[in-house]
């Protein structure tokens, strides 16, 4: 058993070292941006993610029309026997247009090897749910399920606890969103 654990640790370290130039290169370019450029990049990515969800899911458009606000996050998740990830995003009050820049992070344990980039879009039904998310942060302790995809693939028809969640990967909208172990909080450097 100890040999298996050692082998898993060694493979994780080798995989981290193999992917680190890719991840560090992306981080260096992000770090070289000034505050306004970072906000602009987050806004552009968030708008693109929201537009994609609204274009591909009829029910999302209806919920967005009723929503108090929305948020979108860009996430890079890496797995090597353990998984971790992080990203940036923005929460938007629809009525005022006010933006709160946020961060997200995730960690977990499980079998896996590789990296996945995705975006998560939240629609908030009311002011209280939106304000709680922005002001207090939010942690998804259990698997958060939200149907997505096209209307024919079980599109979400309503808010669940004041929130509708959609996830987009390189394959398009994902039918079941798993954001367990993910935490969202204000980005002090960008607000």
- What are the mean pLDDT values of the chain's consecutive 10-residue runs (191 residues total)? 44 42 51 93 96 91 96 84 84 97 82 75 96 87 42 54 86 59 90 95
Would you state the pLDDT for residue 101? 98
Greatest C-alpha distance within the chain: 58
Q: Is residue 177 part of a domain?
A: yes
Would you state the pLDDT for residue 191? 95
Q: Is residue 56 part of a domain?
A: yes
Q: What single-letter DSSP state applies at residue 189?
A: T
Would you state the pLDDT for residue 73? 95
Would you state the pLDDT for residue 122? 93
Q: Is residue 89 part of a domain?
A: yes
Q: Is residue 7 part of a domain?
A: no
Would you state the pLDDT for residue 173? 64
Would you state the pLDDT for residue 139? 75
Q: Is residue 16 part of a domain?
A: no
Would you state the pLDDT for residue 81? 65
For the chain, counts of helices (H) and of strands (E): 4, 6
Phi, psi at residue 51, to the nearest 5°?
-60, -40
pTM: 0.75
In terms of Cβ atoms closer than 10 Å to its own Cβ (0-12, 13-18, 19+), residue 5 is exposed
| Residue linked to tokens 């302790």 | 141
Q: Is residue 134 part of a domain?
A: yes
How many separate domains does the chain show? 1
Tokens, residue 185: 């909080």
Q: Which domain holds residue 52?
A: 35-186
Contact partners, residue 61, CB within 8 Å, separation at least 6: 54
Q: Is residue 2 part of a domain?
A: no
Would you state the pLDDT for residue 8? 41
Q: Is residue 106 part of a domain?
A: yes
């Amino acid at each position: 058993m100890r040999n298996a654990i050692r082998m898993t640790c060694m493979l994780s370290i080798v995989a981290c070292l193999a992917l680190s130039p890719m991840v560090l290169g992306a981080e260096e370019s992000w770090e070289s941006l000034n505050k306004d450029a970072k906000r602009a990049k987050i806004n552009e990515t968030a708008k693109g993610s929201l537009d994609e969800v609204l274009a591909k899911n009829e029910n999302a458009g209806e919920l967005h029309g009723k929503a108090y606000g929305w948020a979108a996050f860009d996430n890079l998740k890496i797995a090597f026997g353990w998984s971790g990830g992080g990203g940036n995003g923005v929460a938007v009050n629809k009525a005022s247009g006010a933006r709160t820049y946020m961060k997200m992070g995730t960690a977990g344990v499980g079998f896996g090897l590789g990296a996945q980039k995705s975006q998560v879009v939240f629609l908030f039904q009311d002011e209280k749910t939106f304000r709680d998310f922005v002001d207090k942060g939010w942690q998804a302790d259990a698997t958060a399920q939200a149907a997505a995809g096209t209307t024919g693939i079980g599109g979400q028809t309503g808010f669940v606890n004041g929130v509708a969640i959609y996830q987009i990967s390189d394959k398009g909208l994902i039918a079941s969103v798993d954001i367990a172990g993910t935490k969202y909080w204000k980005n002090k450097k960008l607000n």
